[in-house]
Every structure is written in structure tokens, then in C-alpha cells.
Amino acid sequence: MSIPLDETDFAILQRLQDNGRRSFSDIASELNIASNTVRNRVARLQDANLLKIIGWVDPNVLGYRAPANIQIAIEPPQLLEEAAAQLSELPEARFVAMITGDFDLTVNVRCRDLDHLTNLITKKIYNIPGVVRTQTNMYMHVYKYGPSEVNLKTHSAAMMGK
């Protein structure tokens, strides 16, 4: 659902993007508006699926130290949607998308170790109908990890015609 956004909505979104645990009263005070206004705006943004406030867990702390990206070729192409749905159900899968190039799908996974990753590919992924070939890239060192941020200031100005 698409809803119109104004400068107050963008200001609230920016503050929650910076710190999703900020209180409504703290945001309201900073924006010089009523706390109920913030509460109602946040509810509206959540109802429109523009805002999700989640807890971000660092998988390294839980022992998941083998992140990888797996590209997957699917044959015949008619099996792509079903393969994507099955890949999305894997607990190790964090992100599944159709891609261009030599492969059809990409899956970002987080495994405990190399044995876990090998098992995932050979015992689970290759058992999905249509999977004919994979290419795996392991992350050697992660420089940035976390939710992506939208530049709300630029987006707000563009939306407001500024």
C-alpha cells in the first residue's frame, strides 16, 4: 500500500532508522510535536509496510561464522518460482533473489562452519527440483554488516520537490 508522506513522516523515519529503540516522546520532543502524533504516524507507517522495527542479532555471536553467497542455475525455467520458494524456507537463507547473468537465483546464507555450508549445498539445495548448478562465494572479511539505510533526507527533498 502506498501512502503520501510529508516532512514529519520523513523526520520520524530518519530518527527511527538511526535508532529503532527511541521513544515516541523523545522523537516528539526533538520534532516539537505531540507524542501521540509520533505514535499515530508510526502506526500508520507500519500498517502501510513502510516501517518495520526489528531486533538485529549478530550471527557471529551465536557461532554462525561462515557467511556465503550461493548463485544457483535452475532448469527448466518453469521451476524457478518453486525453487525460490523452497530456498526461502531454508533457515540458513537470509536473502533470496532472481538475478541476471549466468545464474538464475542468488541466496545469501549464514552457516556455522564449512561443514554446515557443504551440507546445506549438497544435501538441501541440490535436492530442490530444478537446481542444476551452483557457485558459492564465501565472505573472507565483512566490512559492513547491518540493515541497509535509505538516505531519507535526499528522498524527502525529492518527494517534496525541493
- Name the residue range of residue 16's domain: 7-55
Position 26 in a domain: yes
pLDDT score recorded for residue 151: 75
Neighbours of 11 (CB within 10 A): 19
Helix (H) or strand (E) holding 137: strand 131-138
Statement to judge: residues 92 and 112 lie in one domain:
yes
The domain that holds 114 is classified in CATH as: 3.30.70.920
Position 107 in a domain: yes
pLDDT score recorded for residue 100: 98
The domain that holds 32 is classified in CATH as: 1.10.10.10
pLDDT digits (tens, 9 = 90+) for 74-101: 999 999 999 999 999 999 999 999 999 9
Largest CA-CA distance found in the chain, in angstroms, rounded: 58
pLDDT band at 160 (very low <50, low <70, confident <90, very high): low
Statement to judge: residues 38 and 72 lie in one domain:
no
Position 147 in a domain: no
Statement to judge: residues 34 and 91 lie in one domain:
no
**Total domain count, the chain:** 2
pLDDT score recorded for residue 59: 85
pLDDT digits (tens, 9 = 90+) for 37-48: 999 999 999 999
Statement to judge: residues 79 and 19 lie in one domain:
no
Position 125 in a domain: yes
Q: What is the mean pLDDT of the chain?
A: 91
Position 74 in a domain: yes
Distant-in-sequence, close-in-space partners of 95: CB < 8 Å, separation ≥ 6: 106, 107, 108
pLDDT digits (tens, 9 = 90+) for 95-119: 999 999 999 999 999 999 999 999 9
